[in-house]
């Protein structure tokens, strides 16, 4: 199987004073997955924000590459816990589907047990591949709500789109079946997608939306591709995030 080549694209860590570079109050957080894998993340607390976004990022880079986005969230008054999966950035180990699910569970427990954030103040946020990770977490733990951005129903559905109907199991063993997980998720869901996404086309986002139980909402960002949605969406995008977080956690 070609999972390590086709699914996971981690970047190595670069040592810099990222708090100074970003101007953010980054708190380094080390924690352990259930299998003992050592993981790393950043906790950023915005004043006046009782809720926290638990951020499951996409399949490439590491948390360094989300700093600009993290800064925009912080300036919008949103707190976040952004962590790296195993094999990404400073986190140890090698990525795998089950491993990523374990990592998200560990991040959740870190928020609840160490940071003392109650489940009703946690909003799960998954972007791209991280949507399936956040969805799996939502099927196992209580939370105020779930945000799924630029994500897809399953690896198979995405592979069939990009490889002309070729079955995904010929290429990779990873499934990341978000649709299946959503069957057991009963919390408010916000699906966000760009209408010009060439990596994960908007019809995939609509399929995710259809697979979610109400209450749910679909927010389409006009003109946004896969990797520029945050910046194309601008102030209205962050206002939509802020409103959802406030509504589900108040």
- CATH code, 171: 3.40.50.1820
Q: Which residues, in sequence order, are CB contacts of 244 under 8 Å at separation 6+?
A: 123, 145, 147, 188, 190, 217
Q: Is 162 a catalytic residue?
A: no
Q: Give the distance between the most distant pair of CA atoms in the chain.
A: 49
Q: Return the SS3 of 122.
A: strand
pTM of the model: 0.96
What is the predicted pLDDT for the residue at 173? 78
Tell me the two tokens of residue 127.
């972007």
User: What's the gap between Cα 216 and its chain centre?
Assistant: 17
Tell me the two tokens of residue 227.
């990797």
Number of structural domains in the chain: 1
What is the predicted pLDDT for the residue at 190? 98
CA distances from 123 to 17, 156, 192, 206, 234 (A): 28, 27, 15, 21, 21
Query: Considering 128, 150, 154, 249, which one is annotated as catalytic?
Result: 128
Q: Is 193 a catalytic residue?
A: no
Distance CA 202, CA 214 (A): 20
What is the predicted pLDDT for the residue at 204? 96
Burial class (CB in 10 A: 0-12, 13-18, 19+), 145: buried
What is the predicted pLDDT for the residue at 164? 67
What domain range is 156 assigned to?
Answer: 3-249
- Between the two ends of the chain, the Cα-to-Cα distance in Å is 45
What is the predicted pLDDT for the residue at 196? 98
Query: Considering 22, 79, 226, 249, which one is annotated as catalytic?
Result: 226
Distance CA 190, CA 208 (A): 10
DSSP H or E segment with residue 204: helix 202-211
What is the predicted pLDDT for the residue at 85? 98
- Whether residue 188 contacts residue 215, with contact meaning beta carbons closer than 8 Å, is answered with yes
What is the predicted pLDDT for the residue at 180? 97
Give me the residues paired with residue 124 across strands.
54, 146
What is the predicted pLDDT for the residue at 49? 81
What is the predicted pLDDT for the residue at 3? 62
- The DSSP 8-state label assigned to residue 84 in this structure reads P
Tell me the two tokens of residue 203.
């019809």
Average pLDDT per consecutive 10 residues, the chain (250 residues; last block may be shorter): 74 96 97 97 92 97 97 96 98 97 98 97 98 98 98 90 64 87 98 97 97 98 97 97 96
Q: Is 139 a catalytic residue?
A: no
What is the predicted pLDDT for the residue at 167? 59
What is the predicted pLDDT for the residue at 48? 79
């Amino acid at each position: 199987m070609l999972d390590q080549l086709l699914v996971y694209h981690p970047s190595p860590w670069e040592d810099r004073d990222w708090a100074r570079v970003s101007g953010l109050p980054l708190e380094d957080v080390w924690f352990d997955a259930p299998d003992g894998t050592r993981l790393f993340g950043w906790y950023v607390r915005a004043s006046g924000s009782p809720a926290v976004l638990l951020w499951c990022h996409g399949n490439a880079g590491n948390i360094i590459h989300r700093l600009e986005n993290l800064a925009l969230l912080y300036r919008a008054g949103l707190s976040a816990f952004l962590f790296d999966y195993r094999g990404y950035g400073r986190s140890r180990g090698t990525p795998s589907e089950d491993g990523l699910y374990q990592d998200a569970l560990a991040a959740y427990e870190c928020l609840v047990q160490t940071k003392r954030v109650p489940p009703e103040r946690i909003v799960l946020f998954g972007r791209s591949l991280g949507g399936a990770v956040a969805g799996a977490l939502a099927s196992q733990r209580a939370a105020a709500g779930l945000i799924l951005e630029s994500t897809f129903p399953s690896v198979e559905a995405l592979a069939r789109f990009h490889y002309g109907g070729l079955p995904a199991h010929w290429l990779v063993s990873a499934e990341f079946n978000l649709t299946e997980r959503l069957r057991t998720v009963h919390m408010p869901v916000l699906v966000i997608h760009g209408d010009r996404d060439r990596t994960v086309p908007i019809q995939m986002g609509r399929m995710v939306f259809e697979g979610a139980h109400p209450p749910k909402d679909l927010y389409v960002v006009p003109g946004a591709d896969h990797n520029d949605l945050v910046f194309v969406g601008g102030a209205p995008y962050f206002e939509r995030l802020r409103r959802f977080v406030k509504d589900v956690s108040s």
